[in-house]
Amino acid sequence: MGERDGTPEQDAPELCDFCGTVVSEETELYAFVPDSSAIHGQDAKFDGKRLVSACTDDHLHRLVEQYRRRPFIDAELWAGKVFRAVDSHRGRRIDDDTLVGLTGLTVHQIHAGIAWHNERARAVHEHGDDTDA
């Protein structure tokens, strides 16, 4: 989608997220789809939603269906919220109360998100690749 760190690149062409074709302003179609891996750079109201673009109605429908079938993992979303908050503190220590305020999560959700991330990192380290691929 021509984005880096959640900010649209000025001169990057818009591509169909289904087939990769360059789309023009006249043909581009958009939809928000649920995606627990999508964490917005600054605005938490967009967390868990991915903006997809397509070149045709058929490709947009296929993208929406792909994401509809993808499992939405709450702990994955929570992990992303925690890591966005941690990143914003640039290495300074953050306690649970501060994380609750920054993320809008409960302490239980924060710990579950961190545990999900750690388990996934262990699996990647042990197997040498992403086990979801």
Q: Give the chain's domain count.
A: 2
Length of the chain equals: 133
Helices (H), the chain: 57-69, 74-88, 96-103, 107-127
Residue 21 has, within 13 A of its CA and on its CB side, a CA count of: 13
Domain that holds residue 116: 74-127
In a domain, 60, yes or no: yes
- Please indicate, yes or no, whether residues 123 and 65 belong to a single structural domain of this protein: no
Note down pLDDT in tens along the chain; length 133 residues.
444 444 555 678 899 999 999 998 888 999 999 999 999 988 999 999 999 999 999 999 999 999 999 999 999 999 999 999 999 888 789 999 999 999 999 999 999 999 999 999 999 989 876 555 4
Domain end point (choices 45, 69, 93): 69
- Please indicate, yes or no, whether residues 46 and 17 belong to a single structural domain of this protein: yes
Output b/e per residue, 4-43; b: 16+ Cβ within 10 A. eeeeeeeeeebbbbbeeeebeeeeebebebebbebbbeee
